[in-house]
Amino acid sequence: MSLSVQFLSLLAMIGTGIVAGAFMDMIGTATGHAGKKSFIRKHAVWFEGIGWVIAGCGTFFILFLVRDGAWRMYDPFAQISGLLLYASFFYKPFRLLGRIILLVFIKPLWFIARLVISIIRQIFRILIKAVVFLFTPFVKLFRIISGNFFNKREK
């Protein structure tokens, strides 16, 4: 293996460490902002465990692409240095990018989805009220008629 391929694989492992750090930070932030009684907060350990498994699978995929899956002794050190690089240098830019994506894309889409759901819910409420209004005379007539048949007569 040439020196340039080894350097490329070292940079790839440092990059996977940075991406894994950002991914785990995203999961931690999402579970931290979930409600105290929410499903996400209750099962945060499972989400983080699944996140680490996904990060590991992604790392192996990158390792497979770069070196046909050959693992070297310096790979864990490169990944740890990538995690530390994320924690020291890339933390703030990634968080800023995350806030921008949240404000520009996710919140408007969430607003539109909630608006559509509330409009559909209101349409169903109006339809149900109309049906109840149309059947009210028949229900009252049925109660009057059926009340006479099932009343007990006292002697």
The gap from C-alpha 87 to its chain's centroid, in whole angstroms, comes to: 23
pLDDT for 153? 61
Domain that holds residue 17: 3-148
- Per-residue pLDDT at 81 exceeds 90: yes
Q: The pTM is what?
A: 0.68
When pLDDT is averaged across residues 143-148 and rounded to a whole number, the result is: 74
The total domain count for the chain is: 1
Rounded to 10 degrees, what is the CA torsion of 26, 32, 34, 39?
90
Does 153 map to a domain?
no
In a domain, 50, yes or no: yes
Q: Each residue of 89-118: pLDDT tens digit?
A: 998 998 899 889 989 998 999 999 999 999
Residue-level pLDDT at 38:
85
